[in-house]
Chains A and B, each alone.
Chain A
Amino acid sequence: MTDRLVPVEPLQVGASVSIRAVDADVGGAAAAYTEVVGKKKLGWFFWACAAWIALVILAAIFANLLPLKNPLFQDYNALNKGPSSSHLLGTDDLGRDIFSRIIYGARVSLVIGFGAILIGLAIGGTLGIMSGYLRGKFDTVTNSASYVLLAYPAIVAIIAIVAFWGNAWWQITLILGVAASPLLYRVVRASTLSYSTREFVMSARALGASNGRILVKEILPNVLPAIASFSLIGVATVIVLEGSLAFLGLSVQPPTPSWGNMINEGRTELTTDPWLVLFPALAIFLFLLALNFVGDRLRQHFDVTVGRL
């Protein structure tokens, strides 16, 4: 429905849309557009953070191929040693190399962090996009369910389930994934809601596209950038959660290293050998900082682009 009154239209067009009225329908706009977009840089700090994330991920994947010490090897001649040339970040109370334990520990943290968010997206994301597009009873039910789940203190539920069910890495991943899904559901649903009322969705419908096709081809590509960047922040949150579980001794069991259980094991030595806690904590801190920054920056980046169009 038009929001203008009767035929004063030419005047209004001239007044309100003069910026794009100038280029009289022939090229020109494209060049101006790329110029504007080109100015919007992500900045060196973004790229530094992204490089750091990539480095940690690659190191974790290829840990076997790197010239690292065995993270489980106990060197009784070097107990609680500070950083040195033979042990870059020192050794713990069993003489294990902290540097290699941090890299192997990254495997656990990363698999659980990314895995849980993927599971969360599979459950919450799918329900969210359907709920936001289809509305109706389906939306009412799933929406209420998400509120109920969000109202429940997640960490208590997670601890209870882990204690009851088990703490293998896949169990932790699954539990944290399910716990993350209501939140992801809400984000995906909100984003979908704003797109499903847009005219291009109506236009796709008018061309005979089915609901499934509209969801996958029209809405999903629009929702995806925002969701992907939010997911990075989600990964950071899950890594912290895993760390908390590990600190409580509820995550992956020793001797398998994870950033969380390294802090847990080092805390008794905190007064004498602080690096036992410091280095894994630093690993978590730096990785999370990078994830949060990259996620946040990407979110802004995509928000602005979408807002402009």
Chain B
Amino acid sequence: MSRSTRSAGLTFAEAGSDTTLLEVDDLHTTFSTGRGHLRAVDGVSLTLARSETVGIVGESGSGKTVLSRSIMGLVPREGVTRTGSVKFLGHEILNAPDKELRQLWGSQIAMVFQDPMTSLNPVMRIGKQIAEPLRLHTDMDGKEATAQALSLLTQVGIPSPEERLRAYPGQLSGGMRQRVMIAIALACAPRLLLADEPTTGLDVTVQAQILDLLASLQKDRNMAMILVTHDLGVVATRTDKIIVMYAGNVVEQAPTATLFSSMAMPYTEALLGSTPRIANPSHTRLAAIEGRPPDLINVPPGCPFAPRCAYARDICHQVRPPLVPAAEPDHLFACWFPLGGRTGPPPPAVTVGAGLAGADRAAGPGPGAPS
């Protein structure tokens, strides 16, 4: 695939030795609502190397979708505040003007959305929808773009692609539509692909196909990927690194193998415990996580997971644990009483009476938090 990618104005030169593609530092995304400020993403930092795959895991409302959209810049302008820093190839893209972002979107960073049933324009032919980003970002004319669309459809494994070019989205099944979505996202060979629950709306057998397809295309193209999901099973075999989110915070972060061998955060354990297993006998009751995620407008002091945590003690309800390194390299967690015993600094000694002073200190908004 040799083709010139046009990105007028912005140039994203390969910075020689630097392998960092994306650098997110202390990102906060706050929604202004009638009830107050909702901190959907509350101080997230992450780095992503070229061709690396990161899984972002968390349950509904943990902020993982907002995080991926905040990184990309796909959040409404009004009523949403983003602070911190998002650097793509060294360029600050947080709060960059739309005009600049439009050159980035589709050509450098692309996104596969959650629901393939609604993410395609129902009245536009498939071929035209795949050709669209090519027309936007490259100098191809209609004929070349159509030829490229055909090749993309073949690459994403759609049978009889010539016919499908002329089909409307309504004539395709969910799995095929998601393949089309992937073809559209990959059309301009982006360096970073954000896949926001790419398999949630799909049949289980198709889920595996789509994930394998993403993995192989990613390998071929040397592309970095952020895979957002609520299913630890999905990310277990397909990521280099996993970030576990809860209530807008990163609560644990580790290389994939480390996370599964020595997870520290009870929430991660609970997430894994609520995944159905094929080895279990039929009618085994799934271990659900009791309770609900906290209200993100009035986040209580202390660990946000404490009310639902089986191991929570007094300190957990009063002082929020910071993200600290574990024994293994690149393993971070935020818990006072991690699974497998504590290796980091001990939790502050707090009695029930004296705890409030500590809570004020540790649970207030950190530096840079939006108010």
Contacts and interface: CB of A to CB of B under 8 A. Distances in A.
A183 B295 CA distance: 42
A207 B60 contact: no
A145 B59 CA distance: 45
Contact of A199 (B119, B124, B133, B274): B119
B4 to A, nearest CB: 16
B171 A34 contact: yes
A207 B204 contact: no
A165 interface: no
A308 interface: yes
A20 B204 contact: no
A218 B121 contact: yes
B32 interface: no
A27 B159 CA distance: 8
A65 B230 CA distance: 72
A29 B164 CA distance: 12
Given A17-B174, A26-B159, A199-B115, A204 B204 contact: no
A2 interface: yes
A4 B171 CA distance: 27
> Most chain-A Cβ atoms within 10 A of its Cβ — which of B102, B107, B137, B205?
B102
A11 B119 contact: no
Interface secondary structure of B, over-half rule: loop
Interface in B254-284: 271, 274-276
A210 B102 contact: yes
Given A25-B209, A207-B110, A222 B231 contact: no
Interface in B55-73: 59-61, 65-66, 72
Given A27-B159, A199-B119, A6 B274 contact: yes
B200 A4 contact: yes
A182 to B, nearest CB: 26
Interface in B181-207: 181, 184-185, 197, 200-206
Given A199-B115, A202-B113, A10 B66 contact: no
A9 B74 contact: no
Interface in A31-51: 33-34
Main secondary structure of the interface of A (DSSP, over half): helix
Interface string B300-337: 00000000000000000000000000000000000000
B298 interface: no
A208 B113 CA distance: 15
B230 A6 contact: yes
Given A204-B121, A207-B184, A221-B123, A29 B173 contact: yes
A34 B168 CA distance: 11
A6 B271 contact: yes
Given A1-B65, A199-B115, A203-B111, A20 B106 contact: no
B103 interface: yes
Given A34-B171, A221-B124, A308-B170, A6 B59 contact: yes
Nearest to B60: A2
A203 B60 contact: no
A255 interface: no
A205 B74 CA distance: 8
Contacts of B65: 1-2
B230 A7 contact: yes
B105 A206 contact: yes
Nearest to B190: A207
Nearest to A25: B175
B119 A208 contact: no
B200 A25 contact: no
A149 interface: no
B137 A208 contact: yes
Given A25-B175, A27-B160, A33-B170, A5 B74 contact: no
B203 A13 contact: yes
Contacts of B181: 203
Contacts of B185: 207
B172 interface: yes
A88 interface: no
A28 B200 contact: no
Given A200-B121, A208-B104, A6 B114 contact: no
A8 B197 CA distance: 14
Given A198-B118, A221-B124, 13 more contacts: A2-B114, A6-B274, A8-B274, A9-B231, A10-B204, A24-B205, A25-B206, A28-B173, A207-B136, A208-B104, A209-B136, A306-B122, A309-B169
Which 10 A-B pairs rank lowest in CB-CB distance, beginning with the nearest? A25-B175, A207-B106, A21-B203, A208-B106, A309-B122, A208-B105, A29-B173, A199-B118, A208-B102, A199-B119
Interface of A: 1-11, 13-14, 17, 20-21, 23-30, 33-34, 136, 198-200, 202-210, 213, 217-218, 221-222, 305-306, 308-309
24 contacts: A5-B60, A6-B60, A6-B274, A6-B289, A7-B230, A9-B200, A20-B173, A21-B206, A24-B175, A30-B167, A199-B115, A200-B118, A200-B121, A204-B132, A206-B113, A207-B105, A207-B110, A207-B185, A208-B103, A208-B137, A209-B106, A209-B132, A217-B132, A221-B123
